[in-house]
Amino acid sequence: MPEIKTSQGQRLLILHPNFPGQFKHLAKAAASAGHDVRFLCQTHYNRSIPGVLRMKLKGSAGREALLQQAASTLEQTKKLAEQYRLGFLSLQKANWTPDVVVSHSGWGCGLFVKEFWPQCRHVAYLEWWFNPTSEFYRYDPENLELGIHPNATCKHWLRNQPLALELSAADAVVAPTAWQRQQLPVSQQERCQIVHDGIDLQTFRPAATPTHHPTPLLTYGTRGMEPIRGFPQFIRALPKLLHERPDLTVEVAGEDSSNYSGSPPKGFKSWGTWAQRFLGDHGVAEQMHWLGHLPLTRYVDWLQRSWCHVYLTHPFVASWSLVEALSCGTRLLVSDVAPVREFCEGQPNVSFVDHRNAAELSLQLGQVFLAKPQPDPANRRQQLLQRCSLASSLNGWSLVSGLKLTTNH
């Protein structure tokens, strides 16, 4: 890609239904550098970023109107694109024209960008392309809890329609990882730049004075407790381990919700309530602690105190929490799948497991505490983290967007 000259004082429009989504660091850096930054969203939960004008779509363009549509995911994506079109019309009437637009393409936010502002530089952020040949479908086709199997490819393939239009119309495409880029058709992979969302390495780092939990502590953290993050498999592997290790405590952080796919077992309103009943029936509930959502400072301290952090996932988008745990120097037990290997291959104090195999998972959970910490003579961890640092992320965004960005984070 030819080098783009960066400049200050430009107008940046960011598009994502949920403020700030993957663009927290980009928006903050752009505003700090003196750009006029506006963020068009449907929900924000009172979150804000200094210098960023948060604009919430309301009425017929709002979230409530979208949810009232009894439509398929594909139809909802098209409807949301039309809602954002109304937002663009309001900006146009206010005589505000963006120089750069950054959109999350998976939602359809940026579908009509070039209709309104053909001269702007439009950067489309790719989170996921439904590739019918992907390991996403082939990894665990018999897992009925997850609901992801080869028969779903046709339905999912059609969801690429608005995404394909937005990507083809955009001036540039960004994906946060090589795994996500690999899901694209070859013709789109060639124009897709890898720019990670960025991790604050000054916040997520090993404790100055290591203070592990006084007794063995196993941690599992997730945005939502659900099959795509191996939550049912993790819970089923615990009774044998906890009976063998009465000194072991397990802490689970995150919300009792499902953000992707997979309904809880019949008779339970959520996977969290199922897990509590399951562990209670096996007599190990007292060794479990459910922490809910943790504030940032407590979350970092939790990772630093953990004896071993478990990160399980179907072959999908790797969570920020994986890199955050790596950055804190926490011992890890992780799923042996491509999106995780991209970050963890060759890293010291990381063990891989096939979480589909309950016996192997339970065995690995028990053995991971027995392994001695390994040194990192090749400095692999630091090399990995530099690729995910805020400075690296913002440099990538600057190159692809043409915006001068501050890296004072």
pLDDT given at position 142: 81
Q: pLDDT digit string (tens) for 178-223?
A: 999 999 999 999 999 999 999 999 999 999 887 888 899 999 998 9
d(CA 161, CA 150): 19
Q: pLDDT digit string (tens) for 340-364?
A: 999 999 999 999 999 999 889 999 9
Q: What secondary structure letter does DSSP report for 209?
A: S
d(CA 409, CA 332): 27
Q: List phi, psi (to 5°) of 56.
A: -95, 125
CATH of 217-387, one of 3.40.50.1950, 3.20.20.140, 3.40.50.2000, 3.10.20.90: 3.40.50.2000
d(CA 125, CA 122): 10
Look at residues 245, 243, 241 and name the one whose alpha carbon lies nearest to residue 216.
245
The percent helix, strand, coil of the chain (3-state, each to 5) is 40, 15, 40
pLDDT of 30 > 80? The answer is: yes
pLDDT band with cut points at 50, 70 and 90 for residue 1 = very low
363: Cβ contacts below 8 Å, ≥ 6 apart: none
Q: pLDDT digit string (tens) for 307-321?
A: 999 999 999 999 999
pLDDT given at position 2: 42
Query: 217-387: same fold as 11-198+390-401?
Result: yes
For residue 112, give Cα distances in angstroms to 4, 122, 349.
24, 11, 47
Report the mean per-residue pLDDT for the chain. 93
Q: Is CATH 3.30.70.380 the classification given to domain 11-198+390-401?
A: no
Where are the domains positioned within the chain? Answer: 11-198+390-401, 217-387
What count of other Cβ atoms lies within 10 Å of the Cβ of residue 298?
12
What burial letters (b/e) apply to 97-107, b meaning 16+ CB within 10 Å? ebbbbbbbbbb
Look at residues 212, 207, 205 and name the one whose alpha carbon lies nearest to residue 307.
212
* Mean pLDDT, rounded, for 53-67: 94
d(CA 288, CA 362): 16
Whether the CB-CB separation of 311 and 319 falls below 8 Å is answered with yes
| Burial of 80 per CB tally in 10 Å (0-12, 13-18, 19+) | buried
